[in-house]
Structures are given as C-alpha cells and as structure tokens.
C-alpha cells in the first residue's frame, strides 16, 4: 500500500518514511527540491530507490498536492513551518502555510478514491491553553483545545504563540472541512509536544537544526548555557511509529492522539548525559540551580498506550540524540 508523506526531508517526515518502509508500506515523499531529496539519500544510502520523490515547492499554493496523490492509500501530512524566531509576519510565514497546506492535502485526497485516511501531524500546541496558570495541576487530554483567537494569532509578537496558533487553526480547518465535505476517507491527528531524537534529514549547519532538537543541542554544544527549559517530550522514532499505527487503527477514526511523555527538564538531560559521557564534560552544560516546577500541568497520554503505543525511555532518547548531534556537527 502506498503512503504519501508530505515534508519527507524534514526532521519528523524522514522518520515517518523510515517507519512506514519498515512496516512494508511503499512511500511517496514530497520535497521542495530534488537536491534535498538527493541529500536525504546521501545521508541514508539504505533508502536509495525506496522512496519515490515528488516535488511540491510550496504547500501554501492552492491545490499544492493535486498532482501527487494518484494511487495513494493513505496520506501522512507532516509538512508545516516550525520556527519560532525571526517571525516577521505571522500570517504568511506560519498561519497560511499550516492551514492552506492541510486543506490542500485534504483537497487532493478527495480526488483519489483509494485514500482511506489522512493522518495529520498536529501538536500539543493545538491542545494546551497558554492562558491557564501552568502550575494549576491541570491534566490535558484529547478533548482540550488551545483557545487562541485568529485575531490574537495575527497580532502576537511571540513567535512561539504564532506557531502554536498555526497548529490550532490547521487542525480546526481540517476538522471543519471534513464535517462540511463528508469525504470518502477519514482523518486523525497525532499531537506530540517537543520532539527529540536522532536526525536523519538534510541540514545546512547546526544552526539549521530543527527547532525542538535545538533545546537539547544548546546544553551539549559547549555554550555551557544554564539548563532551564521544561516541557513534555516525545522521541522522533515514537512520533513516526504513531503515524504508522494511526493509518488504520479503528479507534483513531476522526480522533486525536496525544503522545507527549515526560515531563522533561533540561537539568535532567544534562545530568543523564554527564553521567553517560563523562569525557564530554567540557561541552555539556552543568546542571543549574533553576528549580523544576513540580506543580506544572500534566498530559494524559493513556489513550495512546491503550491503542498500542510503546515509548523510548528518556535516557535512551537523550543518549541517542546527543550521540547523533555530535556526529552531525563534525560535518560542518
């Protein structure tokens, strides 16, 4: 069975392709250029001739995917802009590509009778309510929505909030579209929080490392910045497996699946990595005195476990990510 993966040269998209291939699916991947596709293969020679690449230069274009969906049984729509610094225009840089890209994937799917489900990479960003006191002890589940308004999304000067809004409005647009069009396929969303893990996708420099892995990179790159970030995490390999599981699990029809683990704190990351790699103590940040907020909200991922999700341990994720990022850094 053939799966279209949008954004296959991205951090998560490349892993989704690998997980699909491991499970015996055929993969067609959209890329912005053949140069990037060739670079993905150069980095992962075992993928040679395994992925059929098609060019979709800009997912913001209406009907961007119309010519690439032929014969696909499923779509994993992963492509969406994820950056939070140097955002100068929330609408054109984040909101439009996220919303329009998602609608284009659905508009393409409705033209191909074989499509059974579209799995959309959403995020905890579409779930968490940033106006709630983080120390409220609130337990988030699949029923929650980030309440940000479109007006606020257009105006906010926070790149992070604008990105979160892009995920809210993309997911809402998809659900409204399905309600209105009643297509022959169903949809579901995968909602991870910060994703860490080994990179297998093309990069120009360590500065171009994907946004979430930058958090881990900052505490192992010799900058000795005090670790102080906390949140919830998912290993990229688990995110990829979640997409594969979601393709045809009956309980996911129309649903959402929260897959964050944790909580994580970069202090714990540096402790674990210092213990594992004492020879790297010159480049790993020392654990700081910044206290971990133990009263923070939590995320209930029990639905994901009930449908069969298994997760990497945080130690394994940090160790594999650090090993991979030190190796990648040697190339630049």
Contact between 123 and ligand NDP by CB under 6 A: the answer reads: yes
Candidates 76-84, 178-186, 248-256, 281-289 — which segment interacts with ligand NDP by CB under 6 A? 76-84
Q: 158 CB contacts (<8 Å, ≥6 apart)? A: none
* CB closer to ligand NDP, 7 vs 287: 7
Contact between 82 and ligand NDP by CB under 6 A: the answer reads: yes
- Kindly tell me which residue out of 5, 11, 65, 76 binds ligand NDP, with binding defined by CB under 6 A: 11
- Kindly tell me which residue out of 5, 7, 218, 296 binds ligand NDP, with binding defined by CB under 6 A: 7
Contact between 121 and ligand NDP by CB under 6 A: the answer reads: yes
- Kindly tell me which residue out of 79, 94, 118, 309 binds ligand NDP, with binding defined by CB under 6 A: 79
In this structure, the chain runs to a length of 332
Q: What are the CB-based long-range contacts (under 8 Å, 24+) for 215-219? A: 215/266, 216/266, 216/269, 216/318, 216/321, 216/322, 216/325, 217/325, 218/266, 218/285, 219/266, 219/269, 219/270, 219/273, 219/284, 219/285
Contact between 172 and ligand NDP by CB under 6 A: the answer reads: no
- Kindly tell me which residue out of 38, 44, 60, 228 binds ligand NDP, with binding defined by CB under 6 A: 60
Contact between 328 and ligand NDP by CB under 6 A: the answer reads: no
The encoded tokens of residue 211 equal 């946004």
Contact between 36 and ligand NDP by CB under 6 A: the answer reads: yes
Q: Is 100 exposed, middle or buried (0-12, 13-18, 19+ CB in 10 A)?
A: buried
Contact between 167 and ligand NDP by CB under 6 A: the answer reads: yes
Spatial separation of the C-alpha atoms in residues 234 and 122, rounded to whole Å: 13
- Kindly tell me which residue out of 194, 217, 232, 318 binds ligand NDP, with binding defined by CB under 6 A: 194
Contact between 10 and ligand NDP by CB under 6 A: the answer reads: yes
């Amino acid at each position: 069975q053939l799966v279209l993966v949008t954004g296959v040269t991205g951090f998560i998209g490349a892993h989704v392709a690998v997980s699909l291939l491991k499970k015996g699916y055929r993969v067609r991947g959209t890329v912005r250029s053949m140069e990037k596709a060739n670079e993905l293969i150069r980095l992962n020679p075992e993928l040679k001739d395994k992925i059929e690449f098609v060019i979709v230069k800009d997912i913001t274009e209406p009907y961007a995917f119309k010519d690439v969906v032929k014969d696909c049984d499923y779509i994993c729509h992963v492509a969406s802009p994820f950056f939070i610094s140097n955002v100068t225009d929330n609408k054109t840089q984040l909101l439009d590509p996220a919303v329009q890209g998602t609608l284009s994937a659905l508009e393409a799917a409705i033209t191909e009778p074989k499509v059974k489900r579209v799995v959309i990479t959403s995020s905890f960003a579409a779930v968490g309510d940033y106006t709630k006191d983080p120390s409220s002890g609130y337990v988030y589940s699949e029923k929650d929505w980030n309440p940000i308004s479109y007006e606020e999304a257009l105006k906010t000067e926070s790149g992070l909030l604008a990105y979160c809004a892009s995920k809210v409005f993309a997911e809402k647009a998809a659900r409204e579209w399905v309600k209105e069009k009643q297509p022959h396929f169903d949809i579901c969303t995968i909602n991870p929080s910060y994703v860490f893990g080994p990179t297998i996708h093309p990069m120009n420099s360590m500065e171009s490392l994907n946004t979430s892995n930058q958090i881990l990179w900052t505490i192992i790159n010799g900058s000795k910045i005090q670790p102080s970030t906390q949140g919830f995490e998912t290993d990229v390999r688990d995110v990829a497996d979640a997409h594969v599981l979601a393709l045809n699990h009956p309980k996911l029809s129309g649903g959402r699946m929260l897959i964050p683990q944790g909580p994580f704190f970069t202090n714990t990351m540096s402790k674990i990595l210092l213990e594992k790699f004492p020879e790297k103590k010159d480049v790993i940040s020392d654990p700081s005195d910044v206290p971990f907020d133990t009263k923070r909200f939590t995320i209930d991922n029990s639905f994901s476990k009930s449908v069969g999700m298994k997760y990497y341990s945080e130690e394994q994720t940090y160790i594999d990510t650090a090993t991979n990022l030190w190796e990648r850094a040697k190339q630049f």
